[in-house]
Structure 1
Amino acid sequence: MKRFPSKFLSVLLGTAVGATIASSATNELSKVMKERGLSEIDVVRAAKTYNPTGVKDKYVVFSSGGQSGQMIVYGVPSMRLLKYIGVFTPEPWQGYGFDEESKKVLRQGNIRGREINWGDTHHPALSETDGKYDGKWLVINDKANPRIAVIDLADFETKQIVVNPVFKSEHGGSFFTQNSEHILEAAQYAAPFDNNYHPIEEYKEAYRGGVTVWKFDPKIGRIKPKDSFTIEMPPYMQDLSDSGKGISDGWGFTNSFNTEMYTGGIEIGMPPNEAGMSRNDTDFLHVYNWKKLYELSKDAKNVKIINDHKVIPMDIAVKNDALFLIPEPKSPHGVDVDPTGQYLIVCGKLDTHASVYDFKKIKKLIKNKEYVGKDPYGIPILDMKKSLHGQVELGLGPLHNQYSPVDGEVYTSLYVDSQVVKWNFKKLKVIDKENVHYNIGHLAGMEGKTADPQGDYIIALNKLSIDRFQNVGPLHPQNHQLIDISGKTMDLLVDMPLPLGEPHQAVAIRASKLHPHVRYEMGTNTRTGEQHIGKTLAGEERIERDGKNVTVYATLVRSHINPERITVNKGDKVTIYMTNLERAQDETHGFTIDNYDLHSSLEPGKTATLKFEADIEGVFPYYCTEFCSALHLEMMGYLLVKDPNKKYESAQKLKMKSMTPEELKAEYDKTVAVNNSTDAVIQSVVKFLKDNKYQEHKVVSDLVTDAFDQYNQIPEQKKKANAALKEGDVEKAILFENMIWQLMVKTADVGIRAKDALVRVIATKQSSSAVRGETAFAEGGCNGCHVIGKVSSGPDLTGVLMRHENGVDWVSRFILSPESMYKDPYVKAMIDYFNLKMPNQHMSEEEVDDIIEYLKWVDENANLF
């Protein structure tokens, strides 16, 4: 392995920084490269996907979770997993399907009175304004149980599930129209629209396909079933769809397979479906004017009502010039409208060509009623050649497309060849190919199917990973591979195993377009966005009984659940309303009761409901399931379920030595003294914050608000402590004083974080060398003994460079070889005082130089520490 060149490192890190640190970094990087067998291009690729601590991604990807029934969220270019979203399947971490609010959403997905607790999520779609992602709503379909779910991107929670009332399966959903006023959902396997039995021999007469046009309100993010309708279509196995944009706005496009209308029958000696369903040379692209049909659906004479749902028959659509067919390559698997809305690309899995249709030509054929015939159901067929802009040979198994910001450029997945091909759909010319691993399905471009594609990256959603990752058994993860498309040729950067179902398709959006909440308004029902009926504030906690119905109004805040004891009778129906009182960001609490199969996730401000029957007797601890503070383990309580028909014998009380009154008073005085000392620290922090105008910096101001939320609870606790002391109950007074200490610790914790944040804002800017020095100070273990601004296990280092003649040289020598200076009178005095010798941390000279620069920065800002 050749030595890592300084010139290359300078390019990687930036010329100015690279010139400074190339010497030491070259040696370390060369060593790592040699040990791991890495090439220079490997390191470049790693750098392109690396996010330093605290740096966020440019794009956020929403991937279907396939058979998990969930969605997966990750960042690009880091490819770091960020979240799973519970959609069609219960998800315990989020309490989805366990608390009453989310259970109500999940139960919207019941079909014909049956609970459905799994889904096969396939095609996510982001809401659009003028054909561009607006970052407000996300929808996803369920192929196994034809449903659409709506996710609110203000909090990444599923808010609505709508069941398709006439389809028995679907694959071609979900696709927003260009202003998110409608969602297109196409059927997959043809079946009767009603719920009755129809023999397979009546396939052509009784089985149907179709496209449902769901009315969507983009202001509130909800599907409106009563304003929606389905377009009846032949039993051709409709597949994927796309909605027009620009000049094709108002039109929908859905491809199909099995125009042969073959129904198989291996069990009776017939050829299998795969043979009979791919006999024809072409299948049909469905072209329909959904906007015209939507207006027609408002008139009862144009619709049939099936399962309380409006269906526009084929003859009505044909009579109103709103439904047409165009031949397309057989067994297609997608139709993709370009950013302008003029061109449509269709790829057939069993054809090596991509077909580019021109909507202007299609509209002209429709206007002139220039048809080449009709299908068996009377739908006009347009001439394929006259509809095409052209065809180009791409390779084996072309599937899906994502567009580039470069005019005419598009990327297509090749399933059989395991490649991504870059080509120009206007010039019909192949530009570049990149191998992937293995058998790629969908592609995810950065906003690659909008009116404003970003380029930068393409993600290959590969169906197989085979030998790419550590063997974890016969069920392998699937492989998402990130490809850099910013240069002239594509460059595969990194593999990402995804171990949750089959991630079928993904969509990517600029992170800057997403603006999720960091906390809820206090007492929010997060599934409706409204105030929760069970909202409970501090001081309102209570237990109410009405016969066998017990209602608990509870709160959670670091580090206790109130109430801490709930006693009910066996057979009681228990409802617990829980409100998270935290105002600090990211202070989520969880709640579960052992043995009762319950869980809820409570983010700051959220109120949730748990309902259960106390049907087993016993003592059941409940606790916070999120590690939320240093006293997390103490954040618990007991559900006590007694049998009202039993007589219980009390256990003999243990005799314990009680403290004498004098001992109790000494304990009380000690506790109060500790509280007074802690309060003095808090007040010094408050003074610093006020003196430095903390309110001018929002991040700091929010932390101060959170700190005072804790501190302002102290007077009430002090009042209780004083009252207990006055009544002579010193033990109870100590308990309240301990509660004051808990509140003070929480206040100090947040307050010191606020101070540290303010220091970073108002301090002089660190040089690049000082930044590296602070890192070396921490990673080298210096801060294990030295705390800037405080005496800890070692002396405070503020001003250390001015304590000695030629201070920089003295400190440098001491860091490099502390043992050589143990006999120095000053050093010996420090060793005797702290009873500790400074160890040799084996710092390099470059690291020591950087630490010196960091200590100079500390001295410049000594007044802030």
Structure 2
Amino acid sequence: MKKRLFTLGLALMLIVGACGQQPQATPSAGGGLPADAAAVAQERGLTPDDIYAALKTYMPSGQTDPYIMLSSGGQSGQVYVIGVPSMRLLKEIAVFTPQSWQGYGYGGSGDEILAGGFMPDGAELKWGDTHHPNISETNGEYDGEFAFINDKANARLAVISLKDFETKQIVKNPNTISDHGGAFVTPNTEYVVEGPQYGVPLGWEYAPVDEYADQYRGLITFWKFDRVAGRVDPSRSFQIELPPYWQDLCDAGKLVSDGWFFCNSFNTELATGGVEDGNPPFEAGTTKNDTDYLHIFNWKKAEAVFQAGQAETINGMAVIRLQTAIDEGILFFTPEPKSPHGADVTPGGEFIVVGGKLDPHVTVYSFEKIQAAIAAGGLATDPYGVPVIPLDKVMEAQVELGLGPLHTVFDDKGYAYTSLFLDSAVARWTLGGPYDDKNPEDGWTLVQKLPVQYNIGHITAAEGDTASPDGQYVVALNKWSIDRFANIGPLMPQNFQLVDISKTGDQMKVIYDMPIGMAEPHYAQIIKADKLKAWQVYPEIGWNPETMSVDPSAITSEDQARVERNGDTVEIWMSVIRSHFKPERIDINKGDRVIWHVTSLERTPDATHGFALSGYNINLSLEPGETQTIEFTANQSGTFTFYCTEFCSALHLEMMGYLTVKP
């Protein structure tokens, strides 16, 4: 027993010292370990690695994480905000799906934002499948101003302001019905790029699948982002028509490769399925070829072609036709590993790393060699006439990592980290070339395979997609958890595992498991917390979060609260402050059109109020200084209550009022 305590105590002293902290001078039980801590460690059977993990991830009350992770929420349609390394869930950002706690989609401005992403005929879309969040960049570095997220299910893009971590805009792509390769930003967020997924006729018009090769197409969209307005501008955006391969994930070139863009594709077989008719299923038909095509775009040349008027307008959107893209030198292909799922540009922009799910290697492409091959010309073409650069002309290296390589991220020590889906592992390997002297190992070498639990999909690193990654941490976004958490039924949580990558060599360690029990996240990005300058209260009383300005219908004091009738329209200006509404009694007639402006007069951080109107499916969240407007027709007569849904004060339960509707 004493030997065990001494060992744990010595381990704890060494670990604390390594973390840059000093052991407390408290009563100890051998080796300097506090007696109560030693007892806990002994009782729980904790190892030195367990104690190290606890010290690396524990965040004392009142302290905040040095990093913030923005994670997609998959079928939830939302985005999640998580502290790193504590792995504490801080917020769910409502995006494509109504969210009642935030009052999003229940009567306020969220209704208008959601409507911006409805189908062209107005058909409602009230859920999404979010996949790839991207944080806005300046000179290839996260700047902490905006985030963007795609909806794979319906080919939509959303803009989130990181001033208040709320959605500001949703746009529906007019020419494709699903996307996967979005949302990826160019190095100065000139464009937010939305890749497609499955080939369809442009505008998803009807065409028989038997006419796939001729009538179906791929499409990549460059949404122009207006940073001042905080919105994408469809009128300044353009698309590029592509062959009907299934374009997948993308990444923008940076520094030496700025102005170029790279996307995976699969199904170069042009498989059309039909297992019910005796045809090969998609899973077989799309994996016959030994290679697929990495798509290489000169997006700055595409921008010039668009601005010169060489695009065709289809469903209100400028489209650079495939032949124009070929003729103008915008689009090139090169073979890539079979069934790829990740195209990732190194921090300096020198290389593009591609993993193929059915190839144990990652293939590394040299941007310099790509440029040389394009300049040399004389390239063969694919069946659609796109120039194809031979693999041996552009490949820098291949590194054998294991089974099912998918996505790759980078650190500050010249290492790359690739998720291995079939191996359920994170592979650490070395970059070569200008990264050779950043670590002890030779370039292009596998260093360590760390088992994770289980079936890792995406992977993310601290500042890992920027021109200057931080290192320190990687998060494995695992699809299965199986035995990691308590059994709560057949639908099990996903598992985010935090990996310590602070040491070189084969010293990676899993130090935290975080259950994600409300979604199936896909990708995430991790930003330094000090880059985020979020508000604690809105800048002025009467702030409209949708327009990010003072609402002209807002009031600034209780004295301005009132009810006015104009025919069968009733307009209400209501103030909200602890612990009452004004007015508290509102009397209207059945059939009246109601316009209700609700303004929080609070200026204290975290003094959030709610506004719920029973029977009318209306619920708002009112952060300090916020104004919301709801409009509805009083189609039910009777007596209805409204009340504050946030426990705002000792007299919270008394914060209510009556809406009486005369028959």
State the TM bucket, normalised to the shorter chain. over 0.9
- Is residue 412–residue 471 contact of structure 2 (8 Å, CA) maintained in 1? yes
Aligned-pair CA distance for 1:19: 5.8
Name 1:385's counterpart in structure 2.
Answer: 392
Query: What amino acid does structure 1 have at the position aligned with 2:510?
Result: L
Match of 2:530 among 489, 505, 512: 512
- Name which one, 1 or 2, has greater alpha-carbon Rg: 1
Name 2:582's counterpart in structure 1.
Answer: 562
Match of 1:311 among 305, 313, 319: 319
Which is strand-richer, 1 or 2? 2
- Is residue 324–residue 379 contact of structure 1 (8 Å, CA) maintained in 2? yes
SS of structure 1 residue aligned to 2:559: coil
Name 1:474's counterpart in structure 2.
Answer: 490
Aligned-pair CA distance for 1:288: 1.1
Task: State the alpha-carbon separation in 1 of the partners of residues 431 and 552 from structure 2.
Answer: 56
User: Does 1:492 find its partner at 2:506?
Assistant: no
SS of structure 2 residue aligned to 1:475: coil
SS of structure 2 residue aligned to 1:23: coil
Name 2:418's counterpart in structure 1.
Answer: 412
Aligned-pair CA distance for 1:11: 4.1
Name 2:592's counterpart in structure 1.
Answer: 572
- Is residue 409–residue 465 contact of structure 2 (8 Å, CA) maintained in 1? yes
- Is residue 370–residue 382 contact of structure 1 (8 Å, CA) maintained in 2? no
Aligned-pair CA distance for 1:16: 9.0
Aligned residues: 640
Name 2:431's counterpart in structure 1.
Answer: 425
CA change 1:465–1:19 in 2 (3 A) is: closer
Aligned-pair CA distance for 1:17: 5.2
User: Does 1:163 find its partner at 2:163?
Assistant: no
CA change 1:585–1:609 in 2 (3 A) is: same
User: Does 1:369 find its partner at 2:377?
Assistant: yes
Match of 2:520 among 475, 483, 502: 502
Match of 1:397 among 404, 407, 416: 404
After TM superposition, the structure 1 = structure 2 runs for residues 35-434 of structure 1, keeping only pairs within 5 Å, are 35-112=43-120, 113-300=122-309, 302-371=310-379, 373-407=380-414, 409-426=415-432, 427-434=443-450
Deviations 1:598-627 (A, max 9, x none): 100001111001222222222212111110
Aligned-pair CA distance for 1:573: 1.6
Task: State the alpha-carbon separation in 2 of the partners of residues 294 and 171 from structure 1.
Answer: 22
Name 1:714's counterpart in structure 2.
Answer: none
**Larger relative contact order (C-alpha < 8 A, sep ≥ 6)?**
2
User: Does 1:456 find its partner at 2:461?
Assistant: no
SS of structure 2 residue aligned to 1:225: strand
TM-score between both structures, scaled by the size of structure 1: 0.73
Query: What amino acid does structure 2 have at the position aligned with 1:505?
Result: Y
- Is residue 9–residue 22 contact of structure 1 (8 Å, CA) maintained in 2? no
Aligned-pair CA distance for 1:219: 2.8
Task: State the alpha-carbon separation in 2 of the partners of residues 186 and 605 from structure 1.
Answer: 38
User: Does 1:610 find its partner at 2:634?
Assistant: no
Query: What amino acid does structure 1 have at the position aligned with 2:365?
Result: Y
Task: State the alpha-carbon separation in 1 of the partners of residues 615 and 219 from structure 2.
Answer: 47
Aligned-pair CA distance for 1:71: 0.5
Name 1:23's counterpart in structure 2.
Answer: 28
CA change 1:19–1:198 in 2 (3 A) is: closer
- Is residue 10–residue 19 contact of structure 1 (8 Å, CA) maintained in 2? no
- Is residue 581–residue 605 contact of structure 1 (8 Å, CA) maintained in 2? yes
SS of structure 2 residue aligned to 1:46: helix
SS of structure 2 residue aligned to 1:118: coil
Task: State the alpha-carbon separation in 2 of the partners of residues 150 and 628 from structure 1.
Answer: 30
Deviations 1:125-173 (A, max 9, x none): 0010110000001000000000110000000010011111111111000
Task: State the alpha-carbon separation in 1 of the partners of residues 126 and 516 from structure 2.
Answer: 22
Task: State the alpha-carbon separation in 2 of the partners of residues 161 and 6 from structure 1.
Answer: 55
Task: State the alpha-carbon separation in 2 of the partners of residues 12 and 191 from structure 1.
Answer: 56
Aligned-pair CA distance for 1:22: 4.7
Deviations 1:693-747 (A, max 9, x none): xxxxxxxxxxxxxxxxxxxxxxxxxxxxxxxxxxxxxxxxxxxxxxxxxxxxxxx
Task: State the alpha-carbon separation in 1 of the partners of residues 27 and 470 from structure 2.
Answer: 34
Name 1:584's counterpart in structure 2.
Answer: 604
Aligned-pair CA distance for 1:565: 0.6
- Is residue 108–residue 620 contact of structure 2 (8 Å, CA) maintained in 1? no
- Is residue 339–residue 449 contact of structure 1 (8 Å, CA) maintained in 2? yes
Aligned-pair CA distance for 1:83: 0.1
Query: What amino acid does structure 2 have at the position aligned with 1:415?
Result: F
- Is residue 12–residue 51 contact of structure 2 (8 Å, CA) maintained in 1? no
Deviations 1:543-565 (A, max 9, x none): 11112211111001011111111
Match of 1:525 among 544, 564, 567: 544
Task: State the alpha-carbon separation in 2 of the partners of residues 8 and 264 from structure 1.
Answer: 58
Deviations 1:55-108 (A, max 9, x none): 100100000000000001010000000000000010111111113311111100
User: Does 1:636 find its partner at 2:656?
Assistant: yes
RMSD: 1.4
Query: What amino acid does structure 1 have at the position aligned with 2:265?
Result: S
Match of 2:5 among 3, 6, 13: 3
Task: State the alpha-carbon separation in 1 of the partners of residues 165 and 177 from structure 2.
Answer: 28
Name 2:572's counterpart in structure 1.
Answer: 552
- Is residue 108–residue 161 contact of structure 1 (8 Å, CA) maintained in 2? yes
After TM superposition, the structure 1 = structure 2 runs for residues 529-548 of structure 1, keeping only pairs within 5 Å, are 529-536=548-555, 537-548=557-568
Task: State the alpha-carbon separation in 2 of the partners of residues 284 and 464 from structure 1.
Answer: 30
SS of structure 2 residue aligned to 1:227: strand
SS of structure 2 residue aligned to 1:297: helix
SS of structure 1 residue aligned to 2:588: strand
Aligned-pair CA distance for 1:473: 1.1
Task: State the alpha-carbon separation in 2 of the partners of residues 587 and 447 from structure 1.
Answer: 32
Task: State the alpha-carbon separation in 2 of the partners of residues 100 and 582 from structure 1.
Answer: 19
Aligned-pair CA distance for 1:258: 0.3
Aligned-pair CA distance for 1:533: 2.6
SS of structure 1 residue aligned to 2:187: coil
Deviations 1:266-318 (A, max 9, x none): 11111111111100000000111111111111233x21211111111111111
SS of structure 2 residue aligned to 1:149: strand
SS of structure 1 residue aligned to 2:483: coil
3-12 or 322-331, larger mean C-alpha shift: 3-12
SS of structure 2 residue aligned to 1:106: helix
- Is residue 177–residue 204 contact of structure 2 (8 Å, CA) maintained in 1? no
After TM superposition, the structure 1 = structure 2 runs for residues 640-679 of structure 1, keeping only pairs within 5 Å, are 640-643=660-663
- Is residue 534–residue 578 contact of structure 1 (8 Å, CA) maintained in 2? no
Task: State the alpha-carbon separation in 1 of the partners of residues 658 and 132 from structure 2.
Answer: 44
CA change 1:375–1:215 in 2 (3 A) is: same
Deviations 1:787-840 (A, max 9, x none): xxxxxxxxxxxxxxxxxxxxxxxxxxxxxxxxxxxxxxxxxxxxxxxxxxxxxx
SS of structure 1 residue aligned to 2:180: strand
Task: State the alpha-carbon separation in 2 of the partners of residues 8 and 199 from structure 1.
Answer: 67
Deviations 1:214-242 (A, max 9, x none): 11122332111111111111000000011
SS of structure 2 residue aligned to 1:539: helix
CA change 1:361–1:16 in 2 (3 A) is: closer
User: Does 1:435 find its partner at 2:451?
Assistant: yes
Match of 2:461 among 445, 456, 463: 445
Task: State the alpha-carbon separation in 1 of the partners of residues 474 and 617 from structure 2.
Answer: 42
Deviations 1:502-535 (A, max 9, x none): 1111111000000001111111111111221321
Task: State the alpha-carbon separation in 2 of the partners of residues 291 and 16 from structure 1.
Answer: 50
Task: State the alpha-carbon separation in 2 of the partners of residues 404 and 51 from structure 1.
Answer: 23
Aligned-pair CA distance for 1:7: 3.9
- Is residue 201–residue 217 contact of structure 2 (8 Å, CA) maintained in 1? yes
TM-score between both structures, scaled by the size of structure 2: 0.95
Which is helix-richer, 1 or 2? 1
Match of 1:597 among 617, 638, 642: 617
